[in-house]
Structure 1
Amino acid sequence: KSYVLKHYPDQLVDNRPRLETEFKALQMLCEHGIKNVPQPIEKNYDLNLGLYEWINGKKVDKPIVGDLDQAVQFAEKLYILSKQIDGNHIGIASEACLSAYELVSQIENRYSRLNAQSNEHMELAIFLEEVFDPLWKKVKNESTSLWPEESRMQNLPRNKQTLSSSDFGFHNCVKASDGSLTFLDFDYFGWDDPVKLTADFIWHPAMNLNVELEKKWNAAMLKLFSGDPYFEERLNAAMPLYGMRWALIVLNEFLPELAQKRRDADGSKEYDLEKRQRIQFKKASQYCERVKNTVFRLTFA
């Protein structure tokens, strides 16, 4: 039998207890009969190490309908589990967005950190000022006014939240030879608004969903969370905001500490930061274009 040894960042570097979060999440999922996750074997908090069952499989580069069905089923299992357990021992997911206010604050914090680097990068300064800013003003006003009052400023009530791996998608799973998916990476696991799970699945740059799969996912989530009368309203209000959030996330290469992390993770001496920044710029611009179309559809729906 093969195993994988996962090393987590020290909490002095990243204060989130990622080893504890992932190990306990996987223990709980396995105990409740959720099979398509790796089995946790052993942990060492002093060394920031977790030992897990090794899962054979390939990356999902071009998702098909069968893959999407499995992702929907997994989201459903997490939601059913969130209704069955006393979840007080589980914290909120990393970067959870339980209100419009929290989501807007996260976006503006990311913006401030990038803006602080704009003196060093003329292209970044121009993008933020001429592309991002005007669109952000419009999106922020439109989306917050459309957001249901219940969770505009206050956190969404726990009974409307779901358990979430927080970075859920085909980029974090492997596909076995029989077509079955195993879902990985639960170090950001916790409670969150199902709207975030739904939106991030669509917006994440590694997802590559075609129009058919995107519609299918959307319809499945509307059905799954139909017990919440404001879910669809909240999703419509949130979609452009999450697009703007991703437009900034893909520019992390401009933040010195995160660029260094990427360089370390890449492991190759040929890591070309300027080339990476150009690629990410293109992605950020594409996000803004997609958001414009989303806002247009919402406004004139």
Structure 2
Amino acid sequence: MKTLKSQEISQVFEKSLGIKVGSVKDIEGGMNNRLWKVIDQKGKSYLLKKYVRDERDRLGHEYQGIKIMRDYGITSVPEAYWCDKEKLLAVYSFEGGIKKKPEELTSIEIVKMAGFLVKLKKISGGKETRNFPLSVNPCLSLNDYLKNINSRLEGLNRNIVINNPRLLKYLRGVEIRPLFNQMIKKCLGSKTDSGKLYKKISTSFLQLCPIDFGPHNMLISKNGKICFLDFEYFGMDDPARVLADFKWHEISEKISDDKKKLFRTTYLTGIHATKDFVCHLNLVEKIAEIDWMSIYLGSVSPKKINTRRFCDKSFNEENYVVNQINKFYHRLDKYYDRNRKQN
């Protein structure tokens, strides 16, 4: 993915938005984009975002998602000003604030996070939102969750065979596929041999979902206002996926169990959750623990590594691979510890 020079950025703003640029600053982005803070000659700040080119319509999901949230009166997201789908560029409002460490989040902030999901649930039945596209890799059945896991494991196997046989050394001789099959069977029990695995979840469960939701994707201002960021996978999906991901996300590891329960309870109370949905959530949370182990293994694919190399100028492939594999084993150890205590 080609980066942009200050002169090119100035031309984009002047031609597309009629804005004369005063200064441009390259700022740290995420794993799949490059970001610039652009200040016009009147002192107003904007965020220019360049998306990585892949099979996902990251720009479309995020830009249209922010637009529709704003249209429904949700102001805890940036404003979307302009986009160019061919060049994979978008301009948003530049939001101030800080990213708090997960362990520093207050109970009030946790409640606000859950409240944001409740708001999305409430607007999801609207005329425009009902027809909003599905999220990236949506999970509309239990089998969809398993497909995501299997896809990463298949990618890992191809990576070992074709690109990086050294991974076998880091995996310490563990047979990955049988290991995951065993964990999935323990999690799902008889459902692995029944039609329940492929049964679509109730459409009443579905709502607009910000995938990869958590403290790493939000800014908190001095007055306590939260601005939520990163909607590249945004769309209609199973909210149990978001709640379970919040529980098991690596960023959430330092959030106390009490605050995780507060997040869960606030959401369930806010949407007046049915017993059926709670049972569904309980099962998805078990799958999500396994899913996160597969995420670490899938993150060492050549494609993921190339994306990280673009987004991080100081990227060290060897250190990155070792770190991701170590994260997998850390989660696996915790999984075994938890199961020993339950048995």
Per-residue CA deviations over 1:38-89 (Å, capped at 9, x if unaligned) read 0111112222111100001111213221221110110111111113345343
1:217 aligns to 2:263 (yes or no): yes
1:184 aligns to 2:229 (yes or no): yes
Q: What letter matches 1:57 in structure 2?
A: G
Shift of 1:293: 4.8
Q: What letter matches 2:225 in structure 1?
A: S
* Matched residue, 1:193: 238
Pairing of 1:65-104 with structure 2 (within 5 A): 65-104=107-146
Number of aligned pairs?
A: 292
Per-residue CA deviations over 1:162-217 (Å, capped at 9, x if unaligned) read 11011211111111111221001112111111110101111111233122211212
* Matched residue, 1:9: 52
Pairing of 1:87-166 with structure 2 (within 5 A): 87-119=129-161, 120=165, 121-126=167-172, 128-129=174-175, 132-133=176-177, 135-145=179-189, 152-166=197-211
1:285 aligns to 2:325 (yes or no): no
1:24 aligns to 2:68 (yes or no): no
Structure 2: any 5+ residue segments left out of the alignment? Answer: 1-43
Does structure 1 retain, via aligned residues, the 8 Å contact 2:152–2:297? no
**d(CA) in 2 for partners of 1:22 and 1:217?**
24
Which of 32, 35, 41 is equivalent to 2:81? 41
**d(CA) in 2 for partners of 1:226 and 1:151?**
24
* Larger gyration radius, structure 1 or structure 2: 2
Does structure 1 retain, via aligned residues, the 8 Å contact 2:98–2:220? yes
- Relative to 1, partners in 2 of residues 1:160 and 1:177: Cα closer, same or farther, differing over 3 Å? same
Which of 47, 51, 54 is equivalent to 2:94? 54
Aligned to 2:159, the other structure's residue is in SS state coil
Shift of 1:32: 0.9
TM-score normalized by structure 2? Answer: 0.78
* Matched residue, 1:250: 296
Does structure 1 retain, via aligned residues, the 8 Å contact 2:59–2:88? yes
Does structure 2 retain, via aligned residues, the 8 Å contact 1:139–1:295? no
**d(CA) in 2 for partners of 1:41 and 1:191?**
23
* Matched residue, 2:276: 230
**d(CA) in 2 for partners of 1:181 and 1:147?**
40
Shift of 1:224: 3.7
Percent sequence identity over aligned pairs:
24
- Relative to 1, partners in 2 of residues 1:286 and 1:151: Cα closer, same or farther, differing over 3 Å? same
**d(CA) in 1 for partners of 2:238 and 2:70?**
23
- Relative to 1, partners in 2 of residues 1:146 and 1:166: Cα closer, same or farther, differing over 3 Å? farther
**d(CA) in 1 for partners of 2:87 and 2:216?**
27
Aligned to 1:4, the other structure's residue is in SS state strand
Aligned to 2:331, the other structure's residue is in SS state helix
TM-score normalized by structure 1? Answer: 0.88
- Relative to 1, partners in 2 of residues 1:141 and 1:241: Cα closer, same or farther, differing over 3 Å? same
**d(CA) in 1 for partners of 2:243 and 2:299?**
25
Deviation larger for 73-82 or 228-237 = 228-237
Q: What letter matches 1:55 in structure 2?
A: E
Does structure 1 retain, via aligned residues, the 8 Å contact 2:136–2:234? yes
Per-residue CA deviations over 1:94-129 (Å, capped at 9, x if unaligned) read 122111111111111111111223351223443651
**d(CA) in 2 for partners of 1:150 and 1:53?**
47
Shift of 1:151: 5.8
